[in-house]
A and B are shown apart, each in its own frame.
Chain A
Amino acid sequence: MKQAAPTTIDQAEVDRFSAMAAEWWDPQGKFRPLHKFNPVRLTYIRNHVAAHFDRDPKSDKPLSGLRILDIGCGGGLLCEPMARMGADVLGADASRTNVEVAAIHAEQSGVSVTYEAVTSEELAARGERFDVVLNMEVVEHVADVDLFLGSCAEMVKPGGLMFVATINRTLKARALAIIGAEYILRWLPRGTHQYEKLVRPEEIEAPLAASGMNVIDRTGVFYNPLQDQWSMSRDMDVNYMMLMERPQKA
C-alpha cells in the first residue's frame, strides 16, 4: 500500500475487520447487532431515497436506475439489499478480505453487486459519481474524518443524497456502545470502537457543509434491550443517522 498521499485508512482498523470477515453473514455471530440494526437503517434509507427520487417504497424495485456507493461496505450487508431493491451498487472497502467475502456471498445469493478494494479518495480521483452515497458505520473507523467525508461528498451527483450513520462521542455512548456492548453484553469484540475515534454530529456537518452539502434530516437510533429491538428516536446521544443533499445546480 502506498503511503505517500494523505490517506483516510487506519491500517489497524482494516486488519481488525479483516480478521472477522468470515462472520459477516452469521446473524448469531459477531455482527449480530448489525443484523438486528439492518432493517431499521434500510427502512430509513429506502423511505428517504424513494421520497427524494419520487418512487413508491412498496413497489417491487424502488431503487431501480439509481447508482449507489456503499463506502466501507464490509461483508455487503447493505449492498445486497440495495441491489435487490433495484439499485446499481458499488461496494467499496479498504479491506481486501472483506471485499472477497462480500463478492462470494453475493454470487452465491444470486445478487448482482460490484465490489472493489478501494478507498474513497481513489474513487473520487477517478471521477466516480453516484446518486446516493452510503456512509454507514464507517466514519468512526477512519484516520482522517474531514478528508474522508470530503472525498465522499465530491462523489454525490447534483440532486443526489448522502447518508451517514455513526456513534456520537458522548459519555452516554461510551457507557452504552462501548462498555455495554463490548464489555458487558459482549455483542461486539472488545476494541471494535474506540472512544477517541467516535464522531459528533457537528464534526460531520462542518466538512460536508464546506463541500456544498445541506443536511435535510437527522435522527437518533435507540436500542431497547428488553425488546431486543432498534427503533428511531429523537435522542442522538448514542447512535444517529444523518441525511445530506447536494442541491441541484440552478
Chain B
Amino acid sequence: MTTENLDVLVCGAGYVGLSAAVAIKLAAPSLAIAVIDAAPPEVWRKDQRAAAIAAGAKRMLTTLDVWQTIEPEAQPINEMIVTDSRTSDPVRPVFLTFGGEIEDGEPFAHMVPNVSIVKALRDKASAIGMPIYQSAAASALDLAEHAARVETADGRRFSAKLVVAADGVRSMLRDMAGIRTQHWGYDQSGIVTTVAHERPHNGRAEEHFLPSGPFAILPLTGNRSSLVWTERTRDAERLVKEDDFVFEAELERRFGHHLGALSLEGGRRAFPLGLTLAREFVRPRLALAGDAAHGIHPVAGQGLNLGFKDVAALAETVVEANRLGLDIGSMAVLERYQIWRRFDTVRMGVTSDVLTRMFSNDIAPLRLIRDFGLGLVDRMPAMKRYFIDQAAGIPDESGPRLLRGEAI
C-alpha cells in the first residue's frame, strides 16, 4: 500500500473542512493538501438545512472567491424581530427589532442553503486541483513526532505534517486522539424544515421565544423561509413523524398567519440540541475545527459562524508559520490557534447556554425579567449596535484577517 505524503490532511468535507483546505491552499499554493470524507459521493447534496452566514464569514467567503457563486441563492436579512410569548397569544409583543445593516449595503447576515455553500467550496477546490476523497472514513490515527499518519476504511494511507479534524460533533479523529469532551444536553431538539408562504417576508427574520424554546423564521430566496423550531426532544420526534396535516396544523399555530397560507417544502428532521466542547483544540500534529471542537446548538445561529472563525484563525496561523519556515504541525505553532479560538468559543457557548435556559420556559417572573431586558435593549442604540456587531462577527485588528475581508 502506498502512502500519500501531504503537508495538510483535512478530515471532513463539510463547509468547515472545505473552507480550511481552500483558504490554506490559496495563500500557500506550495503546500500539498487533500480532503477526506466518510460519506459516499453525492450524499452532501441531500442536506436540506440552511444557515445564517454572518457578515464576517461572508467577507471570508468573498476573499476566497466563492461568495460570488453562493450569492444568487443568498437571502439578505434586512431586519430581525424578537418576541416573547405563549403560543396561544393572538398578538406577540415585539420586544426587540434590529435593522439589518452593519455598513451601507452590507447586511449583518444572509440565509443560504447548506448545499449552496458546500457546492461553491467544492467547485473552488476542484478549480485549484485539490483532491476530495469520499467514502474515506479515518480508521486509524497515529500522531508521531515528525508526521501524523492516517489510514482510511477504504484502504488509503496518508502522512501529513498537520491533520485538521473537521469531522463534526461526533468527530472520530478527536476520539482517536484521546481528546475528551464536555457535554451539556438540554433534552430539546430543533426541528428543521422549509416552508413556502403566500406573502413576501421582505428579508425579515423572526425569533419567537415560545415556552418550549425558540421558534425562528429565517428568510430564504423567494417566498420561502427556513424554520428552526425547538421542542422537548420527545415532542420533536413525535412531530416529525406525524402526517403532513397534523404537522402543518401545529406549525401554523406557532408560525401565525402574517405571511398568508403555508405549505411545506421538502422533508423535516429533528436535531437534538446540546453543547459539546472539546477539552483541547490541538494536539501535536492535530487541530480540531468547527463542530469537532465545539458543537453548539443553534439558538443564536452561531454554529456555522464559529466554524468559519476557526477556519480563518487556523488558516492564518498555518500560512504565517509556513511563511516563516516553521513546522506547521508543531505545538509551538498550533498553540496560537488554540489560544486564539478558545476564549471566543467558551464565551459563545456560555451565552447560548444562558439564553436557552432563560428563554425556554414559561415561568412568569423570569419572563418579566427577560421582557424587561429585551425592552431595555431595544431602547439603547449602543447596546443594539453591540449585539448586531457580535452577530455580524467582524473582528477588530486582533482578529483573523479573512473575517475582515483581507487575504492572508
Chain A residues in contact with chain B, CB under 8 A? Answer: 27-28, 35-36, 38-39, 42-43, 46, 57-58, 60, 62, 80-85, 108-110, 228
Contacts and interface: CB of A to CB of B under 8 A. Distances in A.
Contacts of A109: 146, 327
Given A28-B331, A108-B146, A81 B326 contact: yes
A62 to B, nearest CB: 8
A81 B331 contact: no
B43 interface: no
Interface in B13-66: 28-30
B325 A84 contact: yes
16 contacts: A27-B330, A27-B335, A38-B332, A39-B326, A42-B325, A46-B324, A60-B29, A62-B323, A80-B325, A81-B324, A81-B325, A81-B326, A85-B323, A85-B325, A108-B145, A110-B146
Contacts of A108: 145-146
A83 B29 contact: no
A85 B330 CA distance: 17
Contacts of A80: 325, 327
B325 A36 contact: no
A60 B29 CA distance: 8
B287 to A, nearest CB: 15
Given A38-B326, A39-B321, A46-B325, 7 more contacts: A27-B331, A28-B331, A39-B326, A42-B326, A43-B324, A60-B29, A82-B325
B324 A27 contact: no
A83 B30 CA distance: 15
Nearest to A79: B325
A83 B332 CA distance: 18
Contacts of B335: 27
For the residues of B in contact with A, the DSSP-based class is: loop
Q: Which 6 A-B pairs have the closest CB atoms?
A: A81-B325, A84-B325, A27-B332, A85-B325, A35-B332, A42-B324
Contact of B324 (A35, A85, A110, A228): A85
A60 B145 CA distance: 25
Nearest to B30: A60
A108 to B, nearest CB: 5
Contacts of B332: 27, 35-36, 38
B4 to A, nearest CB: 15
Nearest to A39: B324
Most buried by A among B30, B324, B332, B335: B324
A114 B28 CA distance: 26
A57 B323 contact: yes
Contacts of B327: 80, 109
A26 B227 CA distance: 50
A55 to B, nearest CB: 12
A22 to B, nearest CB: 13
Interface in B312-361: 320-321, 323-327, 330-332, 335, 339
Contacts of B325: 42, 46, 80-85
B145 A58 contact: no
